[in-house]
């Protein structure tokens, strides 16, 4: 290939990249809100402005999520989760199963909890599929497109965080979030204050 042909091809590629720049700029401008608008939306969602800003940044990056968990299914409300987890934990020990060190506990919300009564799974993250007996099951978490956001603070704020993700996904990608939503507890709530609790929320996107 001579110098003239090389230069011509480079020019075409450069022109293509330059043509794409406005689209990237527009996407960035959607993520970044003016301070007044950010504050107003954060107030409506009952979130700190910095939290909403971080949610919007995370919602712009949709990625694949996969994993395995040993779980048990329950039906109830958020107040019943602690009791359900105790029941699961006892069954896990009865079956002489071993969770890998430092693997998070998980709460998988199977349907919309806004009615107050919903189906959910509680369990442990595991590195591979294990042999278990009922009422425990092994669930593969497989979401081709999902938003992942780590929240530090009280669990009571997770509903507001989810609302922020749903709003951001609709605005940035013109699509909807869906269930199941996976919550991975990254530290032990019995050993840290509510303000220090870390939860990774994985929200599938349609």
Summarised one tens digit per residue, pLDDT across range 109-119 is: 999 998 889 99
- Both 27 and 71 in one domain: the answer is no
Q: Is residue 70 part of a domain?
A: yes
Residues 27, 67, single domain; the answer is no
| Residue at 48 is within a domain | no
Q: Residues 107, 188: one domain?
A: yes
* 178 within domain boundaries: yes
197, 154 contact by CB (below 8 A)? yes
In a domain, 44, yes or no: no
Asked if 7 and 73 sit in the same domain, the reply is no
pLDDT at 191: 86
Structural domain boundaries enclosing 8: 1-31
Q: How many domains does the chain have?
A: 2
Flag whether 53 is in a domain: no
Percent of the chain with pLDDT over 90: 68
Residue 117 lies in a domain: yes
Answer whether residue 133 shows pLDDT above 70: yes
C-alpha to C-alpha distance for 65 and 76, rounded to whole angstroms:
26
The DSSP element (H or E) to which 108 belongs, if any, is strand 105-109
The pLDDT assigned to 51 comes to 97
Say if pTM beats, i.e. exceeds, 0.75.
yes
Specify the higher pLDDT residue, 101 or 4: 101
Whether 145 is covered by a domain: the verdict is yes
Q: Are residues 99 and 11 in the same domain?
A: no
Using DSSP, state whether 84 is helix, strand or coil: helix
Query: For the chain, what is the radius of gyration of the CA atoms?
Result: 22
CA atoms within 13 A on the CB side of 83: 7
Q: Is residue 47 part of a domain?
A: no
């Amino acid at each position: 290939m001579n110098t003239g042909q090389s230069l011509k091809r480079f020019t075409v590629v450069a022109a293509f990249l330059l043509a794409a720049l406005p689209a990237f700029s527009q996407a960035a401008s959607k993520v970044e809100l003016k301070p007044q608008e950010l504050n107003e939306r954060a107030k409506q969602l009952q979130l700190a402005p910095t939290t909403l800003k971080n949610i919007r940044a995370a919602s712009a990056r949709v990625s694949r999520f996969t994993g395995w968990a040993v779980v048990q299914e329950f039906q109830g409300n958020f107040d019943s989760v602690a009791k359900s987890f105790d029941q699961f934990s006892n069954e896990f020990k009865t079956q002489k199963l071993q969770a890998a060190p430092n693997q998070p506990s998980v709460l998988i919300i199977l349907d919309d909890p806004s009615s107050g009564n919903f189906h959910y799974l509680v369990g442990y993250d595991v590195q591979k599929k294990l042999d278990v007996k009922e009422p425990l099951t092994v669930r593969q978490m497989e979401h081709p497109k999902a938003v992942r956001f780590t929240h530090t603070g009280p669990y009571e704020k997770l509903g507001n965080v989810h609302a922020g993700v749903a709003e951001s996904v609709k605005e940035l990608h013109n699509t909807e979030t869906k269930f199941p939503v996976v919550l991975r507890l990254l530290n032990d709530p019995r050993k840290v204050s509510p303000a220090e609790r870390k939860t990774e929320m994985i929200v599938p996107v349609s």
